[in-house]
Amino acid sequence: FLYIYFPETHGVSFRIQINVKELLDKDVLLKLLFHLPVNYPSTPPDISVNSDQLTRAQCMDVKEKLLEQAKKHLSEPMVHDLILWVQQHLQDVIKQSATVCNEETTLSKGTEDGIWMLLLHLDHMRAKAKYVKTVEKWASNLRLTGRLMFMGKIILILLQGDRSSIKEYLILQKTSKVDVDSSGKKCKEKMMRVLCETEVQSQHKRFQTFEVKEYSTPEELQKEFETAGLTTLFSEFVPPLLK
């Protein structure tokens, strides 16, 4: 257990890591973050789920199922019960998740709930001008807004839009020949990392356009995130890249 205490007005957060035996007896290490609001257990906790062995979509499905369970336990301490539940039912959730993925419709919900955000880290761009134009074109075609950000050697792409468009962008980014290798031959992006893929929350501001921007200091970059209500996103994912 790693406990993180916040001031009384914010409640308490803590991380728990559990090993769950999954399909084919493979161990799945689940990293769960529970944030207990001040009026817990009358209000369910906020839950975040991460695992290197599961896809982002599977983690989201596990989180949704845990929140459903939490609503059944209102007014009674529930974290222990939720951990037991996920240990017993993870395999079923993952099986269900695969089925839902196959049947997933690409129709957008057309509401704020359907807006997702993606933060990518690129290692380098050899053919920078061509690469930038390609990213701008994809963002425009998929109606995605956000920023392509350069700060020193750091390259970040922050996108907002329909979940189906975000998924399509990721496929394009991974499968298209967007750059050139050291010998000048066209090549696919092999060193991209997805830092975060999440639903846009009410505290996040929506980007109205997609822009390419350069920043001369980490403080300038941080300010861009803060202006968009993304201070937490910055502090969680960007400082490790500055080291």
Of 67 and 94, which is predicted with more confidence?
67
10 pLDDT band (50/70/90 cuts)? low
Least confident of 92-101, 108-117, 231-240: 108-117
- Encode pLDDT of 28-74 as tens digits: 888 888 888 888 888 888 888 888 888 877 888 889 899 999 998 88
Fold for domain 12-98?
Answer: Ubiquitin Conjugating Enzyme (3.10.110)
Q: Of 41, 37, 38, 30, nearest to 65 (Cα)? A: 30
Q: Of 125, 121, 135, 142, nearest to 187 (Cα)? A: 125
Give CA separation, 125 vs 28, 120, 152, in Å: 35, 14, 12
Peptide bond connecting 44 to the previous residue in cis, omega within 30 degrees of 0: no
Q: Where, residue-wise, is CATH 3.30.70.100 in the chain? A: 115-241
Residue 8 has pLDDT above 60, yes or no: no
| Contact (CB, 8 A) for 218 and 148 | no
Residue % of the chain over a pLDDT of 70:
86
Residue 120 has pLDDT above 50, yes or no: yes
| Contact (CB, 8 A) for 90 and 140 | no
User: What pLDDT is attached to residue 139?
Assistant: 94
96 pLDDT band (50/70/90 cuts)? low
Q: Where, residue-wise, is CATH 3.10.110.10 in the chain? A: 12-98
- Encode pLDDT of 77-93 as tens digits: 888 889 889 888 888 88
* SS3 label, residue 78: coil
The hierarchical CATH code for the domain 115-241 is 3.30.70.100
User: What pLDDT is attached to residue 110?
Assistant: 38
Residue 113 has pLDDT above 70, yes or no: no
pTM summary value: 0.54
User: What pLDDT is attached to residue 92?
Assistant: 81
Least confident of 146-160, 183-197, 223-237: 183-197
Phi, psi (rounded to 5 degrees) for 74: -55, 145
